[in-house]
Amino acid sequence: MLTCSQCGTPNDPTRKFCLECGSRLTSGCPTCGAVNPPGAKFCGECGTGLAGPRQGATEDATAGAVARSRAGIPDAVVTEVRLISVMFVDLVGFTPLSERLDAEEVRDLLDGYFTTARQIVARHGGVIEKFIGDAVMAVWGTPVAHEDDAERAVRTALQLVDAIGRIEVDGTSLQGRAGVLTGEAVVTVGADGQWMVAGDLVNTAARLQSVAVPGTVLVGEATYRAASGAIAFEPIGEQTLKGKTAPVPGWQALAVVARLGGSGRSEMIEPPFVGRDEELRALKDHFHATEREGKPRLVTVVGQAGIGKSRLAWELEKYLDGVVETILWHEGRSPSYGDGISYWALAEIVRGRAGIAESDDPETARRALGSMLEEMVPDAVERRWIEPRLTGLLGLDDLPVESREELFAAWRTFFERLAEQATTILIFWDLQWADQGLLDFIEHLLTWARSSPVFVVAEARPDLLERRPGWGAAVRSSTTIHLEPLSNADMRTLLGGLVSGLPEHAMTAIVERAEGVPLYAVETLRMLIDRGVLQPTPTATGSRLRWISRSSTSQPPSMPSSRRASTRSSRRTVGCCWTRRCSACRSQSRPSVR
């Protein structure tokens, strides 16, 4: 049989087009991987015989397979052409480094490196094909194919190169480089499940990796086109690769800027994520510990308004959206004013899970809630107990007259049932404005749901710890991350990523007046746009700001104290979506990740 490389449907070897999707069928040479048209008897590249089975060979093969099975001899291998993405990652300067280290040190270094590679590749749905010295080759698209395999491969390459940069030997950080290509290759699968990928695609990916600058990821054209919706790229021109007769166009992968498929991408260019690498790594580690151990965790992210709490959560969301495990993501915000707002953030989380819009009438909301409970809470008795307590939370009915412990127990059971389906994330925004009842429930949930993978991220200003000095003390696994103002160097990097041609005097003035708070710098840029000093300019990666020179004395406006005060009172009034993903905008775009 000839398998279609586009949809995976088996086809008769004599056919030229797939029965399922209509794609042209090609057969791969088992020796060199070259693609040949259906019906070809010999490979046009190396001359290997490709003739189909003679008449009667099927019966002979079946009888032979039975005999081999009885004798314990494995069946013959299966070869097919598939659309795959190949990633090569290599350690830069490993050979001279290994000469300085003894054998045990080299072994320990490679063991740690390979373990990290296995974890990152597996999280993104790839498979390690082989380790070659200090190089890693991983494949997406076989044995299981996904429509976003190319994007997952690039995400993996970026994370693995970043992880290599955190490995230190004798006080010096290692560097890695990667190449990713997408296209057709020959996949040979044995009866024992072992498989091998061969073809020009594999060799070209290795060659592309070899010309990458240390610390970077290069991709080919097919990969770029498949992944450019969610990943920012920069063209690097045609590359001359060893053994290739024609130059190969290349792009450098810069950063993940959206969810899988490009969902949530801003029209404006996303500024560099700077100064928060350690905090993001801590969030990732705590999440994976929750997933691995199956126990709840609380991470409280504390910082003043505009310091970058929302951007930190957006980076976590983009990362988790790329992993293969199912994750139930929820968000809820505590408003700063209004009547009847007890447990408001919790109600937003339930609405999001049930897919209830603010405009839905009560009857529509009830049906949506009931459908969600049937899916998430299989036990009918539990559903009848939980449902009236959730309809009361959403304001569809009055809450039952009972103790708060009974109410909390029903809500907790609901989240425990969610966590039985998949690791559950609860993001609580602006918790400094939450009522005491919501704070009590969060601690209750994390204290009593001892065997549930529930990961709670509490985002708040320092006021929360003043209102509740013992916050999180009763939770077994509780961590607080304090976000400090960015350094001047980080602020310069951020501004440089947003504005092209920003003069030094303007850069210095904005950095000084922002005082390490990214939102203050963004507000200054918005005022400069209003004055015509900055102009949005389309680029390959999104609209970027360009400095319009009017005179040598042009200075950025100072930020008035009243403007700073308004920024502190409500960061969402300034329209910050193009600089970082605020929770308000995410909740408008979709209620939950999965």
Task: Read off the pLDDT of residues 233-286 as tens digits, 9 standing for 90 and up.
Answer: 999 999 999 888 899 999 999 999 888 887 777 666 678 899 999 999 999 999
Q: What is the percentage of the chain residues whose pLDDT exceeds 70?
A: 76
Instruction: pLDDT band for 396, please (50, 70, 90 cuts).
Output: very high
- 5-9, 10-14, 336-340: which has the highest mean pLDDT? 10-14
Of 132 and 536, the one with more pLDDT: 132
pLDDT(76) > 60:
no
User: From CA 56, how far away is CA 240, in angstroms rounded?
Assistant: 49
pTM: 0.73
- 108-112, 386-390, 529-533, 555-559: which has the highest mean pLDDT? 386-390
Give the pLDDT of residue 193.
58
Give the pLDDT of residue 73.
44
- 144-153, 238-247, 480-489: which has the highest mean pLDDT? 480-489
Section 5-12 average pLDDT: 58
Instruction: pLDDT band for 570, please (50, 70, 90 cuts).
Output: very low
Q: Mean pLDDT in the chain?
A: 82
Peptide bond into 143 cis (omega under 30): yes
pLDDT(392) > 60:
yes
Residue 435: C-alpha distances to residues 334, 345, 349, 440 (Å): 8, 10, 16, 9
* Angle at which helices 518-530 and 488-498 cross, to 10°: 40
Q: At 567, which amino acid appears?
A: T
User: From CA 379, how far away is CA 369, in angstroms rounded?
Assistant: 15
Instruction: pLDDT band for 394, please (50, 70, 90 cuts).
Output: very high
Give the pLDDT of residue 201.
92
The Cα diameter of the chain in Å comes to 89
Section 460-483 average pLDDT: 93
pLDDT(435) > 70:
yes
pLDDT(166) > 70:
yes
Task: Read off the pLDDT of residues 194-219 as tens digits, 9 standing for 90 and up.
Answer: 678 888 999 999 999 999 999 999 99
Question: 32-41, 74-83, 202-211, 429-438: lowest mean pLDDT where?
Answer: 32-41
Sequence-separated (6 or more) residues with CB below 8 Å from residue 197: 84, 86, 129, 139, 142, 185, 186, 187, 188
117: left (phi over 0), alpha (psi -120 to 50) or beta: alpha
CATH code: domain 277-485 is 3.40.50.300
Task: Read off the pLDDT of residues 18-72 as tens digits, 9 standing for 90 and up.
Answer: 776 666 666 555 444 455 666 666 666 556 566 543 333 333 433 343 344 444 5
DSSP character at residue 213:
P
Give the pLDDT of residue 561.
45
pLDDT(549) > 90:
no
- Sign, CA dihedral 483-489-491-497, equals negative
243: left (phi over 0), alpha (psi -120 to 50) or beta: left
- Into which CATH architecture does domain 83-184+198-256 fall? 2-Layer Sandwich (3.30)
Cβ atoms of residues 386 and 410 within 8 Å: yes
Cβ atoms of residues 259 and 150 within 8 Å: no
Domain extents in the chain:
1-53, 83-184+198-256, 277-485, 488-584
Give the pLDDT of residue 59.
39
SS (H, E, C) 499-563: EECCCHHHHHHHHHHHCCCHHHHHHHHHHHHHCCCEEEECCCCCEEEEECCCCCCCCCCCCCHHH
Give the pLDDT of residue 81.
85
Give the pLDDT of residue 75.
52
Give the pLDDT of residue 430.
94
pLDDT(582) > 50:
no
Cβ atoms of residues 393 and 373 within 8 Å: no
Q: What is the percentage of the chain residues whose pLDDT exceeds 90?
A: 52
83-184+198-256 and 277-485 share one fold = no
Question: 117-126, 163-172, 567-576: lowest mean pLDDT where?
Answer: 567-576
The CA dihedral of 100, 104, 107, 113, to the nearest 10 degrees, is -80
Section 580-594 average pLDDT: 40
Of 116 and 194, the one with more pLDDT: 116
Give the pLDDT of residue 69.
43
pLDDT(364) > 80:
yes
